[in-house]
Amino acid sequence: MKGAFYTGKYRNIFKEFGYSEKEIEKKIEDAYNTIFYGSDDERLYHQVGDDMSYFLDTGNNDVRTEGMSYAMMMCVQRNWRKEFDCLWKWAKKYMWMEEGENAGYFAWSVAPDGTKNSYGPAPDGEEYFAMALFFAWKRWGDGEGIFEYSKEARDILRECLHKGEDGKPGHPMWNPNNKLIKFVPGMEITDPSYHLPHFYELFALWADEEDREFWKEAAKASREYLKKACHPVTGLAPEYAHYDGTPYMKDNRQRYYSDSYRVAANIGLDYEWFGVDDWQCTCADNIQRFFCETVEGKIDMVYEIDGTIIDEKALHPVAIIATNAQASLAAKGKYRKECVDLFWNTPLRTGNRRYYDNCLYLFALLALSGNYRIWK
């Protein structure tokens, strides 16, 4: 298969399975309106004055680079430039660090009033910021200052690769030797859900010229890495893992838990965009088979990556349903429709823990309707 990057065609899986274009669009519109402009107990998006906004992690009452960069990606995909710019201005004002070991990175957790909770960065935020900014550049053109989107994206990626060179303080976000993204810059472990080869293929086109070969190699390295990190039978990945793919055994991070769910979604989107690795189809099938055959309705539990069910409820069960469905972009097996139908019939999550579930829910809606697109 040639992916959408080459063909310009994005599959509408919902339509393939019998849903009408009208009801698909309504479902997307309703989700956006709820998440961005719903009631106080529904929305995640909060306006600050006329020109800034933040996206709240309602479970932890903080603002994370994960959520801010996700929200910017949601906005550029929907052509919401005003909201995109408001989010980016808040992130640059309150999250970006100008001094210290992590100068040039973004503080991963900040209070809603702008006070930094941490002076450490999380690499998944940086890679999503960069990709959303590049798409903004391609969709809307560069503005001035911090709204010169392409420059801001290149600046972020330059820091990610070259931090700490020439005896300067700090650590890069990618290991320069194996080309794998780190969990945090100062630790030599990784998070399988951070691996976004479909982003790195595009960074290889638009980042600083001297770094483009690195990004090409990083895309290949991440695709090969996921083959090591995902269990060969269940397809499940641990939350954190070593560079050889073995699970990181501290703090229960060896389990299939919150971060892990994104791997299925990422595999699906990478296959949709680039379609270069049939292993992704096999892995997606394995994940869907596990949840449709093996767990026997216990889709809201915690699991070992070999499929052992742990007597503990998942913190984000709607996220599991959403990402299993998004895996249908790569899956070839008989459970594709079952996973998509279950997702379609699952509402947005309510309550304090709605943030993470509903972010992955909205991305799955976009991806499965053919609306999570490369702007180039």
Question: What would the pLDDT profile of 207-256 be if each residue is shown by its tens digit?
Answer: 999 999 999 999 999 999 999 999 999 999 999 999 999 999 999 999 99
Question: pLDDT value at position 297?
Answer: 79
Q: What is the 3-state secondary structure of 170-201?
A: CCCCECCCCCCECCCCCCCCECHHHCCHHHHH
DSSP 8-state secondary structure symbol assigned to residue 96:
B
Of 126, 191, 259, 270, catalytic: 259
Cite the beta strand spans of 91-188 per DSSP E: 109-110
In the structure encoding, which two tokens stand for residue 48, read together?
């600050």
3-state class (DSSP) for residue 312: strand
Question: What would the pLDDT profile of 77-127 be if each residue is shown by its tens digit?
Answer: 999 999 999 999 999 999 999 999 999 999 999 999 999 999 999 999 999
**Residue-averaged pLDDT of the chain:** 98
Q: Is the dihedral of CA 196, 197, 198, 204 positive or negative?
A: positive
Question: What would the pLDDT profile of 36-93 be if each residue is shown by its tens digit?
Answer: 999 999 999 999 999 999 999 999 999 999 999 999 999 999 999 999 999 999 999 9
In the structure encoding, which two tokens stand for residue 248, read together?
């990181």
Contact 274, 325 (CB under 8 A): no
User: Is residue 83 among the annotated active site residues?
Assistant: no
Tell me: pLDDT of 1 over 80: no
Question: pLDDT value at position 296?
Answer: 76
User: Is residue 101 among the annotated active site residues?
Assistant: no
Question: pLDDT value at position 7?
Answer: 97
Of 57, 62, 66, 270, catalytic: 66
Cα–Cα distance, 230 to 25 (Å, whole number) = 33
Tell me: pLDDT of 175 over 80: yes
Cα–Cα distance, 161 to 173 (Å, whole number) = 6
DSSP-assigned beta bridge partners for residue 349: none
- Where do we find the tokens 């090409």? 216
54 to each of 272, 342, 343, 356, 357, how far by Cα in Å?
A: 30, 31, 27, 15, 18
Question: What would the pLDDT profile of 306-349 be if each residue is shown by its tens digit?
Answer: 999 999 999 999 999 999 999 999 999 999 999 999 999 999 99
